[in-house]
Structure 1
Amino acid sequence: MSDLDPAEVFRQEAGDLIETLEEALLDLEKRPDDRELVGLAFRALHTLKGSGAMFGFVAVSEFIHEFETAFDRVRKGEAAADRRLIAAALDARDHVARLIDDPDVDPARGAAILAALKVAVNGEAPAVEASRPGAAAGVGGAVSSAPSGWHVRFRLPADALTLGTNPLLLLDELRELGPCEVVADIDDVPPLDRIEPQYCHLAWDVTLKAEVPQEAVDDVFLFVRDDMELTIEPLAVDAKRPGPSEGLQTHPAAPGKRSDVAQDSPLGEASPASLDLPIAEGPAARSSPAKVERNATLRVPAERLDELMDRVGELVIAQARLSQLADAIHDPSLVNVAEEIERLTASLRDTTMGTRMVPIGSLFGRFRRLVHDLSEELGKPINFVTAGEDTELDKTVIEQLADPLVHLIRNSVDHGLESPERRAEADKTATGTLRLSASHRGAEVAITVSDDGAGLNGERIRRRAEEAGLLSPGQSISDGELHRMIFQPGFSTAAQVTSLSGRGVGMDVVKRTIDGLRGSIDVDTWPGKGTTVTLHLPLTLAIIDGLLVRVGADRYTIPLAAVEECLELPDGTDTDGRGRSFLNLRGDLVPFLKLRTLFDAEGEPDPFQKVVVVASDTTRVGLVVDEIIGNNQTVIKQLSRLHSGVKTFSGATILGDGTVALILDVMNLVTFGQRIEERRRAETLGRAA
């Protein structure tokens, strides 16, 4: 039996539908005449209502029913989707999310939201009858001529009941349109010894005696029509039923073969999972190709993916040990097996890592509402632009990026973008632009948050840094270092504390989180033109390609994504008179650091030392090592809390012989080396004086 909690299944599906609803509403604010967006929002509401009833979320279903009733006037073209209505609909969307998390939310709160929504729709609380399906015209306000009634015959797919579709609720919706005569066709019900209890074997004939447009009848089957057999015919004078020539086999009434259907049922409406399934004609359709394609995607708990990734990591380590043993023994048969295991392990690693990769668009979509609300709160019109939503990133990284991006966006809106008046004075358009984008850059992902605002005020940053003791008065630092002061704990240039900023906490959160993800931050600003903050992040936190090097008797791993090239240290290359070390690399002077000196390695250096040129932010630095051993698959193991203060290493890995190699954090290592070089240079200058 499945141990999945039905309520949790609903919450997961509802989360996707609520996101769809929010995106449709936000798009509708910009394109109020887009009928497809209206239909998308309405379908999300309708599916949420049905799923909520099926899973026992009665309060959710009842609230959405009223929400749907009010929004139905927009769908029928009787109300305009203006900003006032969108704001009320977004409030209602938020209340639905609260009801899903806590069904015991105060009902008065929901009633007030619905009242505001009704006022936004038509200026006063509408009568209930005004929004009933049979009381208005069809979609877009088109009026259809309505005959005196309709003959409706439908048969659901065989697996409809298994997937949550409830035919009794469909019949109830037909009864809401007017008086109905409902007869169930049981001719296709197999004998008891061959019946499949989970299949739907019935068809229904319905005579609807009401002058309603066909669109109203079509709406009843809106979410299941593609998967079912359905015939809708005007009610003729002789009340003739549709025959076989209309695509359905009609059966005459017979004692014991038809029965009236009860109106009340504890079951609910169709769940989202039942919307795209093929028509199943019987038990033989259980394994149809279309069904396999539909079920190609399934939800897997994140813990299982993490556990699988851990097992693959252990397999990579074991495979490395096997390859090392094969090389030592020199047995051709063992070498062949080791190479085959290495190939399979690499394929399994790539496949497993692929399951953890998630499009970053799933994260970007959350910020549209944030920007919308900030724009309303601050009175700043904002054009929010996103790009690179298809860029994939490890799910663990994405989960930790939400808070940093929220702080960066709030900071751009509050501090970066000017008010319409200030923008007019600077000859800018009244609407500011905020851009959020992502792109692959080698083995990392770059996420940028940019605006066309006023840019960073370097003088104000310096003044606050000197007041906080972060800089000495008149101390000389580069513009990049000055701009990175905004990430210091407690640092803020705001003149006063507001609900959005001023306490100097947000940017510190950004820095800590990105450091924890082994990433880096670049800040570029242009006075009067805007600011761009770029986050550089690794694709995954589990397994990386590394370059294994030796320094003295110890081995270290350098992330291969940071390596640009390797070369031999030229003879006679050493520090100059000021204590600096430079390498002439095809006409460019590249500073280098001797890891033996930084790590206090024992013993004599190798006669032919190697230089690994790495890129840190926009700086190229050479790392001098004794030996370059080669590439390896690096399974990252986090360091203990006792080593949390050691910033030059981002983790450790287990090598094939069972020993441990530390993984170098290139950015922090370069910063550490630069501080040592500056201290040595200051000591040298002091002795010379």
Structure 2
Amino acid sequence: MTLDPIQVFRTEAVELFEQIESGLLDLLHDLSDHDQIDAVFRGLHTLKGSGAMFGFDALAAFTHHCETAFDRVRKGEVPATSELVAVVLEAQDHMRALVETPHGDHEQAGNRLLARLHAAVGAGAAPGAGAPPPASGPRRPAEAPAATAYDIRFRLPANAMANGTNPLGLLDELAELGACEIRVDLTRLPSLAELVPTDLYLGWHVHLVTDAPRSAIDDVFIFVMDDMELQVEASPPEAEAEPRTAEQAAEPVRRETASAPVPADVKPAKAAENVRVPAERLDELMDRVGELVIAQSRLSQLAHASIDIHLRNVSEDVERLSGELRDTMMVLRMVPVGSLFGRFRRLVHDLARETGKSIELVTEGETTEVDKTVIERLSDPLVHLVRNAIDHGLETPAERRASGKGETGTVVLAATQSGGEVIITIRDDGRGINRERVRAKAEASGLIQPGAALADQDLLQMIFQPGFSTAQQITSLSGRGVGMDVVKKTVEALRGTIDIVSRPGEGSEVALRIPLTLAIIDGLLIRVGKGRYVIPLSAVEECLELSLDEDLRSRGRSFISLRDSLIPYIRLRELFATGTEPELHQKVVVVSTGTERVGLVVDQIIGDHQTVIKSMSKLHQDVVTFSGATILGDGGVALILDVGHLVAAGQKQEAHMRAAG
């Protein structure tokens, strides 16, 4: 399948926007940081050049203004200010619109931003109203006193033109720097029979005389530097073979002739180590690996029932290879959570300006890796939680001073891995959750009876109810009671749980516990009655035996003693209403729900099982005790237990039975 060059550019533009935005936000911490100023300038320069190459002329023209403003900052002509950073951040949103809808009506919005840019850098700093300077004609006369001659040899990768890179654009930019002579290198041109029409075989040798610094030459190749061969050598301008008159020097000269081979000491730059693969292909490959795991399970079952030693050997090899392939596939789908956290720097910056609060965002555990699907689906819930922490949690600078706190509030985004799940925490040092207001709202909404006894965690969980909000008035940030409801639904759809801790006057902490992956997990296959079920192995701590006598003695209290501690347990046979008699030697599977340990009484532990998760049908969406289903080796179906919801349902049933008894 041939990749669409325009789509390739849009993908690269997204990365450039992230790079520019990160540089701008870092620059706010130290407006004199020359490294960040240079990084932003390079990002804008790359975006402008790439946009022009792919025909996004409006993007290139608009970006040129921002690039010129940062060029002036880079040269020390104007200082970097927080207002300039804010304007360029907003200009990025306009650039994104120019990338997505290049033919839309963006002129009016662009003119407003250019006026603000003009004001931010001073009257003399704003570029002219026209487009960027044309790509022909020198910007500096070659006979300038500080002129230097450069011999430049470069060769682009074979797929450069197929990916949208136009070598003529690079040559035009070199011509802008001063007088130059250009020769083409044909030494790697193959015979006609071996020639691939879409490949680039040419190289170039450019003799350039300019008063621009060496860095200006590097800037020309900045967005193709990683994949190309490049050699730049400086020499005195008098070394030109044919002296030229001032009139001749004022115009770039282009002579294209075959040149000698590139010297052997010219080493290609380090090739790109990453390969872009469409997400759809990874999903399709994941599905194939899942089917392979199911087929391997069936093969293992047939092999164990056979006396053929060769079949068993082949089965063991397939099992090993499918396991390795599964692990490799899981790693391919893993994405550092830092890619998610990075999006919130801009959000916090904008909300701080909007609310007038001083806010610092701290991120921890950015290298923790999570399935890409989980990352995509967590984006919206985290936006709601961060906005809620800023609007409801953090106080204004005046309120913080009055309570003895520093004026700057802190929002912490942290990620840690625990077993087979990742815990993402949103923490603030604000006023905390007002429990009286939550209870009053819950009673007014009919969610709880007035004066009803309620555990603290259950009371705090009320904020996730649909339409629930304790805001005094509706603002652009919150108050409609829909955001936290979205958080709960999304986390539950990911088979996750939410824990809340809040201390009045000290702040709040919301912890999202999410499975690392949604595709294939290691599970423990069990039997309850005649049905088979899978418990995620990441939740299993240990397995014990429960005799029939112990089961009968524990009626009414349902606790088992384990190393000087009492652990409650749930009889799955009764919870699932199997209608079967208990086995003589039942088993207890001790599982952890993150906050407590609970035993699940089962009839038989069959063994570990590579579980390919299949979604439940729409008819079973309300059955929260199961998170999905899997196909076993014999073609049967086993339901996958959702440990958190299962324990909650079991405890509710046990309490009901005790109350009835």
Q: What TM-score do the two structures reach when normalised by structure 1?
A: 0.86
- For 2:191 and 2:537, the matched residues in 1 are separated by 66
- Equivalent residue runs for 1:302-341 within 5 Å: 302-341=279-318
CA deviation vs aligned residue, 1:618-667 (integer Å, no higher than 9, x gap): 12111111111111111111111111111111111111111111111111
- Equivalent residue runs for 1:378-397 within 5 Å: 378-397=355-374
1:99–1:105 Cα contact (<8 Å) kept: no
In the superposition, relative to structure 1, how do residues 185 and 394 fare at CA in structure 2: closer, same or farther (>3 Å)? Answer: closer
What is residue 609 of structure 1 aligned with on the other side?
586
- One-letter amino acid matched to 1:667: G
2:182–2:204 Cα contact (<8 Å) kept: no
1:69–1:132 Cα contact (<8 Å) kept: no
- For 1:456 and 1:16, the matched residues in 2 are separated by 38
1:188–1:202 Cα contact (<8 Å) kept: no
Asked whether 1:425 is paired with 2:423, we answer: no
1:583–1:589 Cα contact (<8 Å) kept: yes
- Give SS of 2:155's match: coil
In the superposition, relative to structure 1, how do residues 153 and 630 fare at CA in structure 2: closer, same or farther (>3 Å)? Answer: same
**Structure 1 stretch displaced more, 540-549 or 153-162:** 153-162
- One-letter amino acid matched to 1:466: E
1:547–1:631 Cα contact (<8 Å) kept: yes
Asked whether 1:350 is paired with 2:333, we answer: no
CA deviation vs aligned residue, 1:259-284 (integer Å, no higher than 9, x gap): 547xxxxxxxxxxxxxxxxxx97799
In the superposition, relative to structure 1, how do residues 418 and 169 fare at CA in structure 2: closer, same or farther (>3 Å)? Answer: same
What is residue 88 of structure 1 aligned with on the other side?
87
- Give SS of 2:550's match: coil
What is residue 152 of structure 1 aligned with on the other side?
150
In the superposition, relative to structure 1, how do residues 542 and 212 fare at CA in structure 2: closer, same or farther (>3 Å)? Answer: closer
Shift of residue 427, structure 1, vs aligned partner: 0.8
CA deviation vs aligned residue, 1:482-541 (integer Å, no higher than 9, x gap): 111111111111111111111111111000000000111111111111111111111111
- For 1:648 and 1:299, the matched residues in 2 are separated by 38
Asked whether 1:586 is paired with 2:588, we answer: no
In the superposition, relative to structure 1, how do residues 152 and 661 fare at CA in structure 2: closer, same or farther (>3 Å)? Answer: same
User: Which residue of 645, 652, 661 maps to 2:638?
Assistant: 661
Shift of residue 183, structure 1, vs aligned partner: 4.6
- For 2:273 and 2:261, the matched residues in 1 are separated by 21
Asked whether 1:463 is paired with 2:440, we answer: yes
Shift of residue 158, structure 1, vs aligned partner: 5.1
1:147–1:213 Cα contact (<8 Å) kept: no
- One-letter amino acid matched to 1:203: H
- Give SS of 1:652's match: strand
1:612–1:625 Cα contact (<8 Å) kept: yes
1:546–1:557 Cα contact (<8 Å) kept: yes
Shift of residue 353, structure 1, vs aligned partner: 1.3
Shift of residue 147, structure 1, vs aligned partner: 2.0
- For 1:468 and 1:187, the matched residues in 2 are separated by 79
- For 1:570 and 1:676, the matched residues in 2 are separated by 22
Shift of residue 446, structure 1, vs aligned partner: 0.7
- Equivalent residue runs for 1:91-490 within 5 Å: 91-103=90-102, 104-123=104-123, 126=126, 128=128, 147=145, 149-157=147-155, 159=157, 162=161, 165-177=165-177, 180=179, 182-184=181-183, 198-208=200-210, 216=216, 219-220=219-220, 222=222, 227-236=229-238, 239=240, 260=255, 294-490=271-467
- One-letter amino acid matched to 2:90: D
- Give SS of 1:573's match: helix
Shift of residue 367, structure 1, vs aligned partner: 0.7
What is residue 42 of structure 1 aligned with on the other side?
41
What is residue 246 of structure 2 aligned with on the other side?
none
1:520–1:617 Cα contact (<8 Å) kept: no
What is residue 19 of structure 1 aligned with on the other side?
18
Asked whether 1:652 is paired with 2:650, we answer: no
- For 1:219 and 1:335, the matched residues in 2 are separated by 62
Shift of residue 202, structure 1, vs aligned partner: 3.2
- For 2:284 and 2:191, the matched residues in 1 are separated by 46
- For 2:217 and 2:634, the matched residues in 1 are separated by 72
What is the RMSD of the two structures over their aligned residues, measured on CA atoms? 3.0
Shift of residue 587, structure 1, vs aligned partner: 2.0
Shift of residue 445, structure 1, vs aligned partner: 0.7
Shift of residue 149, structure 1, vs aligned partner: 3.2
- For 1:212 and 1:329, the matched residues in 2 are separated by 79
Shift of residue 680, structure 1, vs aligned partner: 2.2
Shift of residue 47, structure 1, vs aligned partner: 0.9
- Give SS of 2:78's match: coil
- One-letter amino acid matched to 1:57: F
- For 2:552 and 2:440, the matched residues in 1 are separated by 36
What is residue 136 of structure 2 aligned with on the other side?
none
1:146–1:213 Cα contact (<8 Å) kept: no
What is residue 673 of structure 1 aligned with on the other side?
650
In the superposition, relative to structure 1, how do residues 281 and 602 fare at CA in structure 2: closer, same or farther (>3 Å)? Answer: farther
- Give SS of 1:228's match: strand
CA deviation vs aligned residue, 1:543-574 (integer Å, no higher than 9, x gap): 11111111111111111111111101255435
Shift of residue 31, structure 1, vs aligned partner: 1.5
- Give SS of 1:566's match: strand
2:335–2:372 Cα contact (<8 Å) kept: yes
Asked whether 1:551 is paired with 2:528, we answer: yes
**Structure 1 stretch displaced more, 293-302 or 11-20:** 293-302
- Give SS of 2:112's match: helix
- For 1:654 and 1:185, the matched residues in 2 are separated by 62
**Structure 1 stretch displaced more, 70-79 or 169-178:** 169-178
Shift of residue 225, structure 1, vs aligned partner: 6.8
Asked whether 1:31 is paired with 2:33, we answer: no
Structure 2: any 5+ residue segments left out of the alignment? 134-142, 244-252
1:461–1:486 Cα contact (<8 Å) kept: yes
CA deviation vs aligned residue, 1:383-429 (integer Å, no higher than 9, x gap): 10111111111111111000000000000000011111111111110
- Give SS of 1:618's match: coil
In the superposition, relative to structure 1, how do residues 120 and 570 fare at CA in structure 2: closer, same or farther (>3 Å)? Answer: same
Q: How many residues align?
A: 632
- Give SS of 1:305's match: helix
In the superposition, relative to structure 1, how do residues 628 and 102 fare at CA in structure 2: closer, same or farther (>3 Å)? Answer: same
1:391–1:439 Cα contact (<8 Å) kept: yes
CA deviation vs aligned residue, 1:445-501 (integer Å, no higher than 9, x gap): 111110111111111111111111111112112111111111111111111111111
**Structure 1 stretch displaced more, 368-377 or 79-88:** 79-88
1:71–1:121 Cα contact (<8 Å) kept: no
2:469–2:479 Cα contact (<8 Å) kept: yes
- For 1:146 and 1:575, the matched residues in 2 are separated by 100
- One-letter amino acid matched to 2:181: V
Shift of residue 318, structure 1, vs aligned partner: 1.1
Shift of residue 153, structure 1, vs aligned partner: 2.6
1:189–1:195 Cα contact (<8 Å) kept: no
What is residue 59 of structure 2 aligned with on the other side?
60
In the superposition, relative to structure 1, how do residues 187 and 459 fare at CA in structure 2: closer, same or farther (>3 Å)? Answer: closer
Shift of residue 575, structure 1, vs aligned partner: 7.7
Structure 1: any 5+ residue segments left out of the alignment? 134-144, 243-257, 262-279, 685-689
In the superposition, relative to structure 1, how do residues 540 and 285 fare at CA in structure 2: closer, same or farther (>3 Å)? Answer: farther
What is residue 69 of structure 1 aligned with on the other side?
68
- Give SS of 1:229's match: strand
What is residue 636 of structure 1 aligned with on the other side?
613
What is residue 510 of structure 2 aligned with on the other side?
533
- For 1:464 and 1:628, the matched residues in 2 are separated by 47
Shift of residue 221, structure 1, vs aligned partner: 5.1
Q: What TM-score do the two structures reach when normalised by structure 2?
A: 0.89
- One-letter amino acid matched to 1:377: E
User: Which residue of 487, 510, 528 maps to 1:510?
Assistant: 487
